[in-house]
């Protein structure tokens, strides 16, 4: 932890230097960054689970601290207005502790009105980053999320410091352990709900603290990309298991997917081939390469598998050009990852926020950035048997090239996705996920 503390100090110093340069370029004297406000359930007396704004967590690893504010000037320590109410209904935040307090001038407040008195005066040289709050809504002259400032910050978010990479690695290590427990539960014949609960318990976190809702899909449910149910009944026949789940550490997220076959059969062979294909995809990454090019290359490799396993009798080139591969691989290859599961700025062309949209043939690709050192991405190719898309393919001229009987025999397995979190380096790629699993 001492090493993480040192890395955090370096991370914050560099972050402040870069953001203050942006402030100076745009005549901003203060950044005000709210942690956020809990959202009340309509006509009820409870709030939805709260997570601090990722803009707030950019500076400080406080993931569940509502009604608090960072104030960043052009010099000196940032100020943290730390909301710690006197409350016997709920557990109040603990006193500031950990690797970060020494780097901030901390003002602990127990009333929201106290926070307002500590914020800088309303002025055109103040910029608010994030959502308006009760304390900032009366700011009339301050700038709310000025694009020239916030887009430059979003652009820089793609490049991770040593501290951030260490947090991402820790998040992968925690998730790898939980994934292993989930696999063991699947092998033991458990239900989706039982597997999900085993994963959550192994992570040491509460369900609402997960980076996103776990996807725990047995059999044909693996064909639903964002399967949101979690059935308590064990299927009559156990065939396959797809789990897409992560863990958070200091506000940084992992996003890992694995697919398993219950028996050693052709579906297991297809999983092994997909795993090899995914690793080959990662091994091919070159510094400066466009993520879009990697995505298209993945489609070409998926096409080879479709032909190798006798699903489609077309040349791989024709499958990609005609869009046939999109029936079986309908989503993007991956995305930026960090303080958000899908980090901002993935389709930015530059720091102004100009958009570099994916081509119409690949509309769901979340990243069109070049892959440069210190950028963290997910790599998650998939191969699925989705009724809706297969019906659309049947209505095209390419239907005659599909081995429909074989496709039907694989539909009960749902599909396959293999996802790792990686960091591009000057020479090669650091695969955080494989490193975490290897350490088990």
Q: Average of pLDDT values for 229-235?
A: 96
How many other CB atoms are there within 10 angstroms of residue 253's CB atom?
25
pLDDT at 102: 97
CA 249-175-206 angle, 5° bins = 65
Section 60-85 average pLDDT: 97
Kindly list the distances between the CA atom of residue 186 and the CA atoms of 191, 195, 260, 271, 321, in Å, as whole numbers in the listed order: 8, 7, 9, 16, 38
Kindly give the interhelix angle for 432-439 and 162-187, rounded to the nearest 10 degrees: 60
Q: Are strands 382-384 and 376-379 parallel, antiparallel or unpaired?
A: unpaired
Token pair of 66 as six digits: 């509502």
At 2, is the pLDDT very low, low, confident or very high (cuts 50, 70, 90)? low
**Fold match between domain 2-157 and domain 162-439:** no
Sign of the C-alpha dihedral, residues 39, 19, 343, 437?
Answer: negative
Classify burial at 355, counting beta carbons within 10 Å of its beta carbon; exposed 0-12, middle 13-18, buried 19 or more: exposed
Whether residue 1 has pLDDT greater than 80? no
**What is the reported pTM?**
0.97
Contact of 58 with 14, CB cutoff 8 Å: no
Binding-site positions: 244, 255, 335, 380, 419
Q: Quick one: CA torsion of 82, 86, 90, 91, rounded to 10 degrees?
A: 60
Class of domain 162-439: alpha beta
Q: What is the average pLDDT score of the chain?
A: 97
What pLDDT does residue 213 have? Answer: 97
pLDDT (mean) for 281-296: 97
Distance CA 221, CA 242 (A): 8
Mean pLDDT, range 123-127, rounded to an integer: 97
What is the spatial distance between Cα 363 and Cα 271, in angstroms, rounded to a whole number? 26
Joined tokens for residue 69: 């504010």
Burial of 282 (0-12, 13-18, 19+ CB in 10 A): middle
Q: What is the mean pLDDT of the segment spanning 176-180?
A: 98
Topology, domain 2-157: Creatine Amidinohydrolase; Chain A, domain 1 (3.40.350)
pLDDT of the residue at 7: 98
* String of DSSP letters for 330-384: -S-S--B-SSSSS-TTTTBSSTT--B-PPPTTSTT----SEE-TTBEEEE--EEE
Sign of the torsion formed by the C-alpha atoms of 20, 63, 54 and 99:
positive
**Residue 399: CB atoms within 10 Å:** 13
- Reduced to 3 states (helix: H, G, I; strand: E, B; else coil), residue 323 is coil
Task: Please give the pLDDT value at position 111.
Answer: 93
The model's confidence at residue 227, banded by pLDDT at 50, 70 and 90, is very high
Domain ranges within the chain, ordered by starting residue: 2-157, 162-439
Are the C-beta atoms of residues 395 and 314 closer than 8 Å to each other? no
SS3 readout for 217-240 = EEHHHHHCCCCCCCCCCCCCCCCE
CA distances from 415 to 364, 377, 384, 409 (A): 18, 22, 4, 12
* Residue 258, strand partner residues: 243
Region 1-8: mean pLDDT is 87
Contact residues for 45 (Cβ-Cβ < 8 A; gap 6+): none
**pLDDT band (50, 70, 90) for residue 138:** confident
pLDDT digits (tens, 9 = 90+) for 18-29: 999 999 999 999
Which amino acids are annotated as binding site for Mn(2+), given as ranges? 244, 255, 335, 380, 419
């Amino acid at each position: 932890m001492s090493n993480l503390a040192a890395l955090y100090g370096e991370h914050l110093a560099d972050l402040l230097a870069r953001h203050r340069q942006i402030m100076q370029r745009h005549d901003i004297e203060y950044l005000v960054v709210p942690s956020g406000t809990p959202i009340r359930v309509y006509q009820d007396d409870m709030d939805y689970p709260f997570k601090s704004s990722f803009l707030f967590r950019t500076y400080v690893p406080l993931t569940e601290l509502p009604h608090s504010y960072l104030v960043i000037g052009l010099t000196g320590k940032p100020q943290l207005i730390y909301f710690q109410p006197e409350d016997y209904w709920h557990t109040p935040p603990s006193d500031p502790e950990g690797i970060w307090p020494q780097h901030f001038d901390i003002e602990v407040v127990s009333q929201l009105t106290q926070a307002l008195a500590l914020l800088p005066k309303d002025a055109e040289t103040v910029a608010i980053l994030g959502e308006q709050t009760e304390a900032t809504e009366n700011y009339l002259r301050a700038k709310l999320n000025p694009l020239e400032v916030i887009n430059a910050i979003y652009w820089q978010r793609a490049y991770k410091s040593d501290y951030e990479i260490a947090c991402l690695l820790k998040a992968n290590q925690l998730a790898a352990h939980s994934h292993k427990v989930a696999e063991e539960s699947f092998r033991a014949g458990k239900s989706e709900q039982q597997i999900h609960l085993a994963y959550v318990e192994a992570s040491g976190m509460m369900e609402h603290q997960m980076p996103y809702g776990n996807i725990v899909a047995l059999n044909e449910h693996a064909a639903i990309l964002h399967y949101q149910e979690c059935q308590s009944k064990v299927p009559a026949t156990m065939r396959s298991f797809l789990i897409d789940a992560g863990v958070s550490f200091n506000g940084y997220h992992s996003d890992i997917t694995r697919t398993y076959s219950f028996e050693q059969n052709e579906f297991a062979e297809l999983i092994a081939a997909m795993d090899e294909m995914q690793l080959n995809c990662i091994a091919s990454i070159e510094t400066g390469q466009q993520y879009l090019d990697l995505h298209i290359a993945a489609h070409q490799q998926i096409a080879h598998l479709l032909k190798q396993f006798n699903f489609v009798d077309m040349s791989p080139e024709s499958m990609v050009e005609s869009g046939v591969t999109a029936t079986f691989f309908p989503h993007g290859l991956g995305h930026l990852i960090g303080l958000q599961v899908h980090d901002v700025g993935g389709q930015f062309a530059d720091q102004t926020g100009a958009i570099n949209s994916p081509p119409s043939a690949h509309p769901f690709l979340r990243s069109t950035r070049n892959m440069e050192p210190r950028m963290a991405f997910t790599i998650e190719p998939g191969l699925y048997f989705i009724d809706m898309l297969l019906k659309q393919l049947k209505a095209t001229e390419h239907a005659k090239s599909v081995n429909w009987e074989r496709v039907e025999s694989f539909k009960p397995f749902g599909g396959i996705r293999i996802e790792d979190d990686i960091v591009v380096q000057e020479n090669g790629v650091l695969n955080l996920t494989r490193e975490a699993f290897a350490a088990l």
